[in-house]
Amino acid sequence: MEIIVKISGRSTALRREVEEILREKLGRVCIYESLTGLELEKGSIIVVVGDDKDVLQTLHTVSERNVEVLAVSRDATRGFLSQIMIDELPDALDRIERGQFSTENIMALEVRIDDQNSAIAVNEAALFSQISATLVEYSLYIDGELLWRDLADGLIISTPLGSSGYSLSAGGPLIHHAARSIAVVPVNSIDMTRRPLIVGENSTISVESVSSKGGAEVIIDGLLRIPVEEGLTVKMYEPPIKFIRLNGPSPIFSKIEKKIHLAEVLLDTPPSAKLILKTIEYEGPLTYSQLLKKTMLPERTLRHALNILVSKRLLARRPLTRDARQKIYYIPESSQASET
């Protein structure tokens, strides 16, 4: 059994920390910054140390290979996909080598754009205009049958795992991660009859006749942006993504429970605040200027939303190390969430 540890190249300090923790194991554990082009044995185990963005990028790289993935987080607030913390890694590797683990199959989607480009979505494929605050027109087909034509802000097609993310924020249903179904969620349709839809795992979802002022694009897992000229086709991807479970119930389910609690807290929160929270969840800690650029919110709206999030203890802020005049915003540990 081949065990490979993957750490993002941007995480120099994290790599040193992992190397120190695994000092006695380095003779049998390989550490890589990238898995692109790496020959992997069938049944290899990939240990990804980092946040959810690192895990998703790795899954996109190894999706066509028959490997199993263990996600490890350094920060408890950054790892929805992670099962263990970094200090638990040595014990986890011992248990994996002894075969004391099980495998959990997670559904993914195959997304084909304009019958040319193809991508794998672990969470969702989201169709939006390339210009902010611009509507997208499209026709939705399920298994070749026209379901509706619509004009909306966008359309999200989500896996059960992704249903607790962007899909949920847009009014979509929360789906148990073990369910074999796909969520189709229109975003702010001008037609109130366009409601979220659940289809079976074997369904083929076609989005055709796509048009939008300035062009449309599909966003895969918040990582890839691919222009759409005519449409896209989405269906279940085979083989499924394989996550390692070390013991007890799935950690994903307990984290979904936490997200439900968070959703209750956010009920009276403006959309701008939800956008900021999701951006920091994906990108990590950001300064005010970085948030301004990434969210494209007006400055007044951004300041107001940040004040709300800090007052609710959903975000915290601290001086930027290299420039104390700037503040950096981050998702705090629940025990440290304070208005600073």
**Sign, CA torsion 155/159/165/168:** positive
Q: What is the pLDDT of residues 317-330, one digit of tens each?
A: 988 877 778 889 99
- Where residue 12 falls among pLDDT bands split at 50, 70, 90? confident
Active-site option among 51, 52, 150, 153? 52
Tell me what the mean pLDDT of segment 101-128 comes to.
92
Pick the CATH number of 3-105+241-245 from 3.40.1280.10, 3.40.50.720, 3.40.50.300, 3.40.50.10330: 3.40.50.10330
175 C-beta neighbours (distance < 10 Å), count? 23
Is the confidence at residue 197, as pLDDT, over 90? yes
Q: Is 313 left (phi over 0), alpha (psi -120 to 50) or beta?
A: left
For this structure, is 52 an active site residue? yes
**What was the pLDDT predicted at 300?**
92
- Where residue 11 falls among pLDDT bands split at 50, 70, 90? low
**What was the pLDDT predicted at 130?**
92
Is the confidence at residue 139, as pLDDT, over 80? yes
- Where residue 61 falls among pLDDT bands split at 50, 70, 90? confident
Q: What is the pTM of this model?
A: 0.76
- Where residue 254 falls among pLDDT bands split at 50, 70, 90? low
Topology of domain 109-236 in CATH is Tumour Suppressor Smad4 (2.60.200)
Is the confidence at residue 339, as pLDDT, over 50? no
**What was the pLDDT predicted at 335?**
33
Listed by start position, the domains of the chain span 3-105+241-245, 109-236, 267-330
**What was the pLDDT predicted at 118?**
92
Query: Please, what is the average pLDDT of the chain?
Result: 85
What the block records as the tokens of 8 is 């993002």
What residue type is assigned to position 291 of the chain? L
**What was the pLDDT predicted at 338?**
36
